[in-house]
A and B are shown apart, each in its own frame.
Chain A
Amino acid sequence: MTKRPRFGLYALVILSVVISFLPIIWLILTSLKTTEGIYAWPPQYLPDPFTLKNYIHIFTNSPELLLYVLNSFIVALGCTVVALSFGGMAGYALSRLGMRRAGVLMVFILAVSMFPPVSLLPSLFQNFLHLGLLNTYTGLIIAHTGLFLPFTVWMLASYFATLPPEIEEAARMDGMGFFRIFWSIVIPLSWPGFVATGLIVFIFSWNEFPLALVLMTQNAMRTAPVGISLYPGEYAFPWETISTATVIAIIPVLIITAIFQKQIVGGLTAGAGK
């Protein structure tokens, strides 16, 4: 490689990083200010005085904001477990069990994954109302599983397709059944695929908005994005509380993304390149 001027490159990188982080940094700074500091003129760029009062306030006075985070966690975890179980089996059937019209089924699954969530709302709301699934974890977990199963099936099917078939053939020679082969050979061999897919599905479910808004109508059942968005009263927006709650709600996603960025990027680009 020939040497090229590096200064411009670094300037552009720093600019992109600053722009990416700016809203998050400003939000964190806001959450560390006093109420007077937030609404001060001239504006405070750095908290002065620095305070953890907003965080303490949430833990003592607004437990519902923590409940939203807990709800999000239960729903995202449930959705991830169900989607990986069902999607893993379906992906295996479509990539390895010689199903007839597997290609047509894959295209069908891709096509339904593009349905806009809002067009599901009137009937999902009505059906969930009749079935008593509104305001239940089960209900939203099923709904999110439906939304993200197509992605899961595609990801895992393409992962299984990369495994060498000889191992499964040898196991069959030894008289193992298909279910045992899937359970004790394919799943252990495919855990990187399950991890990448599971992380992305977890993030999708954590972030999903329209279904979580409509299917959880009780305040105590709301997920974090919905609960925080609807938290403010009618007129005034309590930014000190909102900013703090938002920081708390995005921390899990920030940690997951930071730790597993390689797997997430790999999974996303593989999924989108299909």
Chain B
Amino acid sequence: MTSMTSPLDRRRHLTGLAFITPTMLVIIAILVYPILQSIVLSFGQSSIDGTAPYQFVGLKHYAALADNERFWNALWVTLIFTGLSIPLELAMGIGLAVLMNEHFRFKGIARLAVLFPWALPTALNTLMWRWMYNTDYGLFNAAALQSGLVDRPINWLGDETLAMGSMVVVAVWKTSSFMALIILAGLQSIPRDLYEAGRMDGMTRWQEFREITLPLLKGPILVALIVRSMDALRTFELPFNLTDGGPVTATESLSLYAYKVIFDFIEFNYGAAIVVVQFLVIFAMSLLYILTLRNKD
């Protein structure tokens, strides 16, 4: 503990407080208070415009959720989507990172190509893919029909399994680049002489990768995995723009369902209960993230 006697220390302390106050006020107003308010709303009955007074109803909304098949479906869809897309993104990300770590010409263009899918708005990326998936006029069916691979157009977004697969493809396309960038930064911090030593021992390329590269990439990979999992668990505009959750509810994520409950069905408090459940799932993930980082140091 330092004592606060010297005037300089006091000035420093006051400046610190003054400097951090605007940030704390915005974070509390936009992130902390709304979450607490959502929790309060989920235990009550009120109206979105505040005309009806708040009435406490206890666990009523949560009990209703437990019996709501569409809620369980949304939770399941979100978990399946996350479980399918993350391993694929990781594999693609590692592959891209290893590729980008090689020396070749026109690397600038290649790096830009890897960065673009990440940099563009997911909502608009999704529209581009929806256009390529289009049953009657899309690129995929045009190419498949013309080359004779199929004799009838494939309904990419109209079949339950295909729609989920199509959504996973868009997510993997968009976010493998993010994985790749983080893993690439890790790759570049691996000392070169480790590989030279490996080569002396007559290691093959694959052995090098498995025995030197992968173990040293554990940290960055873990970070990338957790950040991306949290992202995937809250996916919203991807199903919103690709399928609107369809066919029926085959691609309806938890975020999308919560949005519909609040703003389409105007069941404000019920929707709050859904977002609180989602918050808890993601918050558990973020605690895991922070604990992992702590252990890494």
Pair from one complex: yes
For residue A130, which residue of chain B has the nearest CB? B50
Q: Which of A74-109 contact B (CB under 8 A)?
A: 85-87, 89-90, 92-94, 97-99, 105, 107, 109
Q: Which of B71-121 contact A (CB under 8 A)?
A: 96, 99, 102-104, 108-117, 119-121
Contact between chains at B26 and A129 (CB < 8 Å): no
The residues of B that contact A207 with a CB separation of less than 8 Å are 120-123
Contact between chains at B220 and A17 (CB < 8 Å): no
For residue B31, which residue of chain A has the nearest CB? A112
Instruction: Determine whether B15 belongs to the interface, using a CB cutoff of 8 Å to chain A.
Output: yes
For residue A211, which residue of chain B has the nearest CB? B30
Contact between chains at A118 and B128 (CB < 8 Å): no
Instruction: Determine whether B163 belongs to the interface, using a CB cutoff of 8 Å to chain A.
Output: no
Instruction: Determine whether B37 belongs to the interface, using a CB cutoff of 8 Å to chain A.
Output: yes
The residues of B that contact A107 with a CB separation of less than 8 Å are 290
Contact between chains at B236 and A206 (CB < 8 Å): no
Contact between chains at A150 and B181 (CB < 8 Å): no
Instruction: Determine whether A32 belongs to the interface, using a CB cutoff of 8 Å to chain B.
Output: no
Contact between chains at B22 and A89 (CB < 8 Å): yes
Instruction: Determine whether A196 belongs to the interface, using a CB cutoff of 8 Å to chain B.
Output: no
| Total A-B Cβ pairs within 8 A | 291
Pick from A26, A86, A125, A130: contact of B132, CB under 8 Å: A26
With A23-B132, A89-B22, A90-B22 as known contacts, state yes or no: A257 contacts B38, CB within 8 Å: no
CB distance from A179 to the nearest CB of B (A): 7
For residue B37, which residue of chain A has the nearest CB? A123
Pick from A120, A209, A274: contact of B236, CB under 8 Å: A209
The residues of B that contact A149 with a CB separation of less than 8 Å are 23, 26-27
The residues of B that contact A20 with a CB separation of less than 8 Å are 113-114, 116-117, 173, 177
Interface residue tally on A, bucketed by range: 35 or more
Instruction: Determine whether A66 belongs to the interface, using a CB cutoff of 8 Å to chain B.
Output: no
Contact between chains at A114 and B289 (CB < 8 Å): yes
Could you mark each residue 31-57 of chain B with 1 if its beta carbon is under 8 Å from any beta carbon of chain A, else 0?
Answer: 111110110010000001110000000
Q: Which of B195-217 contact A (CB under 8 A)?
A: 199, 205
For residue A109, which residue of chain B has the nearest CB? B27
Name the segment of A51-59, A187-195, A224-232 touching the other chain. Answer: A224-232
Task: Report the bound CA distance from A85 to B16 in whole Å.
Answer: 14
Contact between chains at B113 and A99 (CB < 8 Å): no
Contact between chains at A229 and B15 (CB < 8 Å): no
Instruction: Determine whether B263 belongs to the interface, using a CB cutoff of 8 Å to chain A.
Output: yes
Pick from B18, B102, B120, B268: contact of A253, CB under 8 Å: B120
Instruction: Determine whether B135 belongs to the interface, using a CB cutoff of 8 Å to chain A.
Output: no
Instruction: Determine whether B160 belongs to the interface, using a CB cutoff of 8 Å to chain A.
Output: no
Pick from A17, A19, A105, A124: contact of B20, CB under 8 Å: A105
With A43-B142, A94-B20, A272-B182 as known contacts, state yes or no: A124 contacts B275, CB within 8 Å: no
Task: Report the bound CA distance from A109 to B258 in whole Å.
Answer: 25
Contact between chains at B131 and A239 (CB < 8 Å): yes
With A121-B262, A149-B26 as known contacts, state yes or no: A209 contacts B110, CB within 8 Å: no
Most chain B CB inside 10 Å of its own CB: which residue of A12, A38, A214:
A12
The residues of A that contact B268 with a CB separation of less than 8 Å are 122
Contact between chains at A249 and B124 (CB < 8 Å): yes
Contact between chains at B15 and A269 (CB < 8 Å): no
Contact between chains at A210 and B237 (CB < 8 Å): yes
Contact between chains at B286 and A114 (CB < 8 Å): yes
Instruction: Determine whether A50 belongs to the interface, using a CB cutoff of 8 Å to chain B.
Output: no
The residues of A that contact B99 with a CB separation of less than 8 Å are 9, 12-13, 16
Most chain A CB inside 10 Å of its own CB: which residue of B16, B134, B285:
B16
CB distance from B268 to the nearest CB of A (A): 6
Instruction: Determine whether B164 belongs to the interface, using a CB cutoff of 8 Å to chain A.
Output: no
Contact between chains at B27 and A146 (CB < 8 Å): yes
With A122-B275, A178-B12 as known contacts, state yes or no: A26 contacts B255, CB within 8 Å: no
Binding site for A on B (CB under 8 A): 2, 8-9, 11-13, 15-20, 22-24, 26-27, 29-35, 37-38, 41, 48-50, 96, 99, 102-104, 108-117, 119-125, 127-129, 131-132, 134, 136-137, 139, 142, 146, 173, 177-178, 181-182, 184-186, 199, 205, 220, 223-224, 227, 230, 233-234, 236-237, 240-241, 255, 258-259, 262-263, 268, 271-272, 275-276, 278-279, 282-283, 285-287, 289-290, 293
The 3 lowest CB-CB distance pairs between A and B, nearest first, are A146-B30, A43-B142, A90-B23
Can you add 17 more A-B contacts, CB < 8 Å, to A85-B22, A254-B120?
A: A1-B103, A17-B109, A24-B116, A27-B128, A99-B20, A118-B275, A122-B48, A123-B35, A123-B38, A126-B50, A129-B50, A182-B19, A225-B121, A229-B237, A250-B121, A253-B119, A273-B223
